[in-house]
Amino acid sequence: MTTDQKPLPPGQFETLSFDRFGLGRFAWRFAKNLDTVTFRIAGDVAQPVQVKDQFAALPRVEQVSDFHCVTTWSVRAVHWRGVRFADFYRQVVLPQAKPQDGATVVVLRGQDGYRVSMLLDDLLADDVLLADTLDGQPLGLAHGAPLRLVAPAHYGYKHAKHIEAIEFWRDRRHYRFPLPYPNLMDHPRGRVAFEERARFLPMWIIRPLYRFLMPFARHKMRTALEHWQAAQRKH
């Protein structure tokens, strides 16, 4: 088990509860498949692959890591279980999908329509997981069931939840951060240590702006989750 306990990075404050969070426009879009890990590998690959049993065969790891949202809240010591992205890449993507040379822009898509890009090199780091378990429990709707990305060195918005596709592209043409948030609110890497919160915008605008917007997004996510939970109880 790897443990990763560091002082809070620049511009972050600690929150004690780990809540459902995300872009407001996805609050009311609920993933339908919460139980079965299955997703496509696509993009500039020789052979698109639907992953299912291959995933269950990969080695599993546990990890405790801090979680940092770009809107300035952090949760310490989150306990995940899953598969290292690097193992998935080497044991499934390379031999089965056979990405073309230079297919290093990775786009992760969620069942709710969310999408985000990461650089392949960043995903191959030791602490990047495709996680299906949080605190010993399946992820649930709040935290990205059935499978989500965990990349502790990167802001939370890179941690795609409800993964339904992972694409490997040779360029960024196939990717647009979800509207109405233009690509300038995204950063190709989004590293926490370097405050890569956004491109172009200066930190003295972006930090207070995000901190101001955060409670509205959190409230919207919580209301939607409570609504979804009430509907589940009726069925």
- Give me the residues that bind Mo ion (CB under 5 A), please: 69-70, 156-157
When the beta carbons of 95 and 138 are compared against ligand MTE, the nearer one is: 138
> Any contact of residue 152 with ligand MTE (CB under 6 A)?
no
Nearer to Mo ion, 42 or 224 (CB): 224
| Residues found in the chain | 235
Nearer to ligand MTE, 112 or 167 (CB): 112
Q: For residue 8, report the phi and psi dihedrals to the nearest 5 degrees.
A: -65, 140
Closest by CA position to 69, among listed 30, 17, 111, 131:
17
Identify the residue among 22, 146, 152, 190 touching ligand MTE (CB under 6 A): 22
**Contact between 39 and ligand MTE (CB under 6 A)?**
no
Could you give phi then psi for residue 22, rounded to 5 degrees?
160, -175
Q: Binding ligand MTE by CB under 6 A: which of 84, 143, 187, 220? A: 143
* 70 or 163: CB nearest Mo ion: 70
Picked from Mo ion, ligand MTE, none, the partner binding residue 177 (CB below 5 to 8 A depending on kind) is: none
- For residue 177 the two structure tokens come to 């951060």
Residues 196-235 that bind ligand MTE (CB under 6 A): none
141-147: long-range pairs with CB below 8 Å, 24+? 141/20, 141/30, 141/31, 141/34, 141/225, 141/228, 142/19, 142/20, 142/225, 143/18, 143/20, 144/110, 145/31, 145/34, 145/35, 146/33, 146/34, 146/35, 146/36, 146/37, 147/37, 147/39, 147/55, 147/82
**Considering only residues 59-98, where is the footprint of ligand MTE by CB under 6 A?**
69
Q: Which does 161 bind (CB under 5 to 8 A by kind): ligand MTE, Mo ion, none?
A: ligand MTE
- Nearer to ligand MTE (CB atom), residue 26 or residue 168: 26
CA distance 147 to 221: 19
Residue nearest to ligand MTE (CB): 22
CB atoms within 10 A of CB 174: 15
| 63 vs 71 by CB, closer to Mo ion | 71
Do strands 13-14 and 39-43 pair parallel, antiparallel, or not at all (unpaired)? unpaired
Stretch that binds ligand MTE, among 4-12, 139-147, 180-188, 190-198 (CB under 6 A): 139-147
Using CB under 6 A as the criterion, which residues of the chain lie in contact with ligand MTE when the complex forms? 18-23, 26, 69, 110, 112, 114, 142-144, 156-157, 159-162
